[in-house]
């Protein structure tokens, strides 16, 4: 099986690592769209166009059987249209892990870190609406502009990155958040 995988940069490699542990013998083709990164601060229309272009390229060049959108931001903006456009292609997306967070929280307060575009997207809102019927929790949503660039530029562990994180996480700690969702696949790096 030929599987295409894409992300705006290197974050999707965290997904590739997980895929190679469970799927043996598949041929993987990875695209890091560093020319257009970061996606998280682009418009829905731009992210949609990048996603369509990459998918078409993977089909033309590598005849992929399946596509993994290894990016929360592109999944939020484009997966619905990709599935409409390519009905015979298996398409798998990436969504913030709110479900396990809701199951695990003891304080009922969950922080969600993601890119601005992911949090603005309808797909994210649909996920939150569906899951909030399961349990009464308070979500502290935090868009993290600039964080993906820090990570992709190899500056994940600098003072500037720590200060950015502190400014977002301090209010969560103050409010009793006990579970944090890493809603962008670059964030496991930090
Ligand atoms: N890695 C992408 C994600 O999972 C976002 C990175 C970006 O903003 O380009 O959301």
Known active-site residue 144: no
- Reported as a single tens digit per residue, the pLDDT across 173-187 is 999 999 999 999 999
H helices of the chain, where? 13-22, 44-62, 72-85, 98-104, 116-120, 122-132, 147-152, 159-174
Strand order in 179-182's β-sheet?
Answer: 138-143, 109-114, 179-182
What is the model's pTM?
0.91
Known active-site residue 184: yes
**CATH code for 2-93?**
3.40.50.1860
Question: Do 2-93 and 98-189 fold alike per CATH?
Answer: yes
- Reported as a single tens digit per residue, the pLDDT across 20-39 is 999 999 999 999 999 999 99
Ligand 1 centroid – CA 3 distance (Å): 20
- Domain definitions of the chain by residue range: 2-93, 98-189
**CATH code for 98-189?**
3.40.50.1860
Determine contact, residues 148/115, Cβ cutoff 8 Å. Answer: yes
> What SS3 class is residue 178?
coil
Among 12, 36, 40, which is best to mutate for testing ligand 1, by the most ligand atoms less than 8 A from CB? 40
Determine contact, residues 168/142, Cβ cutoff 8 Å. Answer: yes
∠ Cα 86 72 147 (to 5°): 145
């Amino acid at each position: 099986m030929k599987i295409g995988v894409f992300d705006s940069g290197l974050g999707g490699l965290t997904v590739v690592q997980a895929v190679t542990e469970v799927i043996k013998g598949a041929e993987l083709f990875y695209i890091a769209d560093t020319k257009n990164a970061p996606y998280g601060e682009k418009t829905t229309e731009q992210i949609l166009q990048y996603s369509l272009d990459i998918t078409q390229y993977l089909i033309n060049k590598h005849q992929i059987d399946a596509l993994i959108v290894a990016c929360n931001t592109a999944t939020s903006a484009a997966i619905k249209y990709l599935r409409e456009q390519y009905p015979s292609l298996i398409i798998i997306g990436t969504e913030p892990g709110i479900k396990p967070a809701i199951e695990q929280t003891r304080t009922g307060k969950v922080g969600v870190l993601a890119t601005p575009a992911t949090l603005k997207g309808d797909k994210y809102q649909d996920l939150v609406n569906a899951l909030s019927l399961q349990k009464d929790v308070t979500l502290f949503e935090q868009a993290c502009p600039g964080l993906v660039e820090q990570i992709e530029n190899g500056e994940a562990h600098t003072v500037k990155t720590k200060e950015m994180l502190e400014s977002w996480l301090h209010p969560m700690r103050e409010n009793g958040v006990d579970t944090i969702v890493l809603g962008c696949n670059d964030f496991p790096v930090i």
